Amino acid sequence: MQTAEIRRRFLAHFEAAGHTVVPSAPLLLEDPNLLFVNAGMVPFKPYFLGQETPPYGTATSVQKCVRTLDIEEVGKTTRHGTFFQMNGNFSFGQYFKEGAITHAWRLVTGHVDDGGLGFDAEKVWVTVLEGDHESRELWRSVAGLPDERIQDRDLNDNYWHMGVPGPGGPCSEIYIDRGPEFGPDGGPVVDEDRFLEIWNLVFMQEEITNVRAKDQFDVVGPLPSQNIDTGMGLERVAYLLQGKQNLYETDEVFPVIERASQLTGRTYGANHVDDVRFRVVADHVRSGLMLMGDGVTPGNEARGYVLRRLLRRAVRSMRLLGYEDPALPELLPVSLDRMKASYPELEADFPRIEQVAYAEEDAFRSTLGKGTQIFDVAAQKVKADGGTGLSGEAAFTLHDTYGFPIDLTLEMAQEQGLSVDADGFRALMAEQKARAKADAKAKKGVHADTHAYRAALDANGPTDWQAYTTLSTESRVLALLSQGEAVPALTAGSIGEVVLDRTPFYAESGGQNADAGTLTWSGHGGGTAEVLDVQRPIKGLVVHQVRVLEGELVVDEQLSADVDPEWRLGARQAHSGTHVVHAALREVLGPTALQSGSYNRPGYLRLDFGWSGALSPEQLHDVEHVSNRALREDLPVSAQYMTLPEAREWGALALFGETYGEEVRVVEIGGPWSRELCGGTHVDRSSQIGTVVVTSDGSVGAGNRRIEALTGLEGFAYLAKERDLVLQLTDVLKARPEEVPTRVNDLLARLKATEKELEKLKAAELQGAAGDVAAAAVDVDGVAVVTHRAEGVGGGDVRSLALDVRGRLQDRAAVVVVVGTANDRPSVVVALTPAAQERGLAANALVGVVGERIGGKGGGKPDVAQGGGTDVAGIDAAFAAVLDAVRVAVGR
């Protein structure tokens, strides 16, 4: 059974049971705690946490997921991948344990012809939380499982919570016995390779707090409502139903391995080392495809960095398999061909996806070329010095500076008869990871090994920071850094860090992006550097990350440091706009609507604030109105320095739970109307913000909302687009702008009325046609056979017509076959009277006869079956085949 078919059956099963089918959320679902969606329940978290009211009582989905904790481990085992799909069904107080167990059992063991997955009930084992007698009894009564196939497990295995205070509850896991060839008997408590988990049913029933470990927490009490959250691993079910050994051999993954094998001339299954590389290729190509499909592009930070690593590891693995030509153009289309059945949007967006992917591979191939030259030089030096091994530091430099994978370094060293200090390399990598974690937490730039920064500060004193007073300074280069180490020069094309004696550049802080601009010098032949980022890695020191565009920058160089004035103006407008929106929120919602975080860049701002529940359209309108009223009033903007106690006494708001020094900067707009502790850059008067256009409001966690807005020219551009849209509508509708909503509502109402009338007419037409269709029956050895082609009819209408015709022939043995041709795709329904079934005929057999001729298949019961296909040209042949099949069956 194909993966896409398993997915379809899962959704159809729960839709038939009354669940709302919810499309997969994007992998980049906005959640402050997640890089990517990593579980099927993530989109439903606001409902389970009580932050939002669910729009449905029950739901089902197949959610795209990505987990990236151990990318280096992918392929070393066959059980886990980076991208996976999680089938789930969810209940928000509608049903509980009995419902969840009943739904799961019917799908897992249901007959394939009836839409089930067809697992042998005798091979199903389950686990329950020890002491959960209710679940044990339900598995006995609902599924008929014997006690020996229901095993108890402790809190570590069979209790679910999110690791923080909130909902929790016991869970019950469903396992399939793969057979003695996979391990010893005794159920999942003995061996989880032989007994493979496919589905986890979580029974959310209590609120927990004081979470200390997976099995250590305190129960506050029962939840207001009992909820269900389940997760079925689609890939695991697929390889079980496809008779494969692991997820890498399934229909959505293995074709990439097959193509990689053709390209490299290597055979999958020949040896473990190559198998790991094949699996890395297959997993990373598919994961990269899905990430790019959801809008991720390769980069050096966060999500972009994950994608870059995936694509480059795939390319690297192909190289280690012996294939040195561009690999992604050969592999990505194969993955697309397998994934588009479930995600057709990938095909429409593939031109963009392949452009991004192939450019990334080209860049990496160039990196590999440079790295190879550097390696050759290092290897020659080792040999000239009489050595036998490459140092860990040299391997680390190749990896960190040139992006050269350690696997490739090891392979090339072996070819030259050299060893590599792998332990030294891993130690340096561990140090870098520790620095990276500290860097992410403290926002200290790309390389946060503070010894180099501390040395620069000790030698030269604090930076003379003039961002509040000027956009340009004449400055001297005090230190240059590359990869966290002091260097004498930065050459054209390189990226490094620059410490100046004075600077006009704003260093990122308080949610405001760093300034953009240039460094320009005339000494040593002159040159220019683009300022990419500005940070404060340690107190008192401002560090500029730059890309040298031309020339060479050396220590002690005199240069001009110039902030891009347009950038700074946009940043000032956005940051002052953030304060204005914050004050407007408190005016509209009350003083408890306090800012909890913010981010602003030129023309854009977002502000997180404490609030439960979505803002109404009227509230959002009021926030925007109050903000723009403040701009029209041209309020003065000023900054004053004072002690923290003085600022608090003055009523200034201290935000984010930050640690402040004794002296603080208080920015006020319109006096007490907006008074906040802030180190950002601001306009001189509120009117200079230009405009505030609120564009969105959403939830970002328990009790927190996020509002987004545009300022300045970006805000006006947004309004201009809306104006143009209204003008287009007024032209199409021949109405004045204020009449557009009424006209659109009228058109929608008329459209709905027309659709209803058309449905009535179609139903009447089909009903009227049923008599003529029945009258056209052909007698085949005493069986009335109706074969009818319903042009332009599809879905439920085909079924209705077939059943209506059968009803007119109930007094005799009759076979009714109706094929609809809506959208040039045939859909078939076969309906038999009881007398026809007594003659040995079955609808589910005849629908297969039709399916073979129209490029499809079908299924159902002996009395009624249905299916579909792709080839309308085969309909006549299908009808002829039905007549032959009936003739053979009844003529026995």
Annotated binding residues for Zn(2+), written as ranges, equal 575, 579, 678, 682
Provide the token pair at 74.
Answer: 């992918």
The tokens of 562 are what?
């110039």
With beta carbons less than 8 A apart as the criterion, state whether 701 and 32 touch.
yes
Q: Considering only CA atoms, which of 116, 132, 113 is closest in space to residue 124?
A: 116
CB–CB of 547/532 below 8 Å? Answer: yes
Q: Read out DSSP for 428-451?
A: HHHHHHHHHHHHHHHT--S---HH
Residues β-bridged to residue 666: 640, 677
What is d(CA 105, CA 107) in angstroms, rounded to the nearest whole number?
A: 5
Rounded CA separation 488/705 (Å): 48
Residue 481 structure tokens: 């850094």
DSSP 57: S
Cα separation of 714 and 711, whole Å?
Answer: 6
- Which tokens is 704 given? 């927190």
CA 60 to chain centre: 18
Q: Which residues are annotated as a binding site?
A: 575, 579, 678, 682
Helix orientation angle between 392-402 and 406-415, rounded to the nearest 10 degrees: 130
List phi, psi (to 5°) of 578: -60, -45
Backbone angles phi, psi at 778, to 5 degrees: -105, 135
Place of tokens 């050895």: 781
Residue carrying structure tokens 């209506």 = 804
Contact indicator for 833, 804 with CB cutoff of 8 Å: no
SS3 697: strand
Contact 465, 503 (CB under 8 A): yes
Q: CA 611, CA 591: separation in Å to the nearest integer?
A: 11
H-helix segments, 710-830: 712-733, 740-775, 796-808
**Beta strand pairing call for 502-503 and 464-465:** parallel
Which residue in this structure is represented by tokens 């004053």? Answer: 640
Q: Are 260 and 282 in contact (CB under 8 A)?
A: yes
* Element (DSSP H or E) covering residue 696: strand 692-699
Whole-Å CA distances, 93 to 48, 50, 87, 344, 870: 10, 12, 20, 34, 41
Instruction: Say if residues 283 and 309 touch (Cβ distance below 8 Å).
Output: no
Match 């005794």 to its residue by tokens: 186
35: number of Cβ within 10 Å: 15
Taking the C-alpha atoms of residue 412 and residue 517, their distance in angstroms, rounded to an integer, is 42
């004050």: which residue's tokens? 583
Q: Is 617 exposed, middle or buried (0-12, 13-18, 19+ CB in 10 A)?
A: exposed
Task: Give the closest residue to 354 by CA, choosing from 338, 382, 334.
Answer: 334
Inter-CA distances, 603 with 404, 509, 620, Å: 38, 17, 19
Tokens representing residue 588 in the block: 């509209």
SS3 591: coil
Q: What burial letters (b/e) apply to 558-581, b meaning 16+ CB within 10 Å?
A: ebebbbbeebbbbbbbbbbbbbbb
Tell me the torsion sign for CA atoms 394, 396, 401, 404: positive
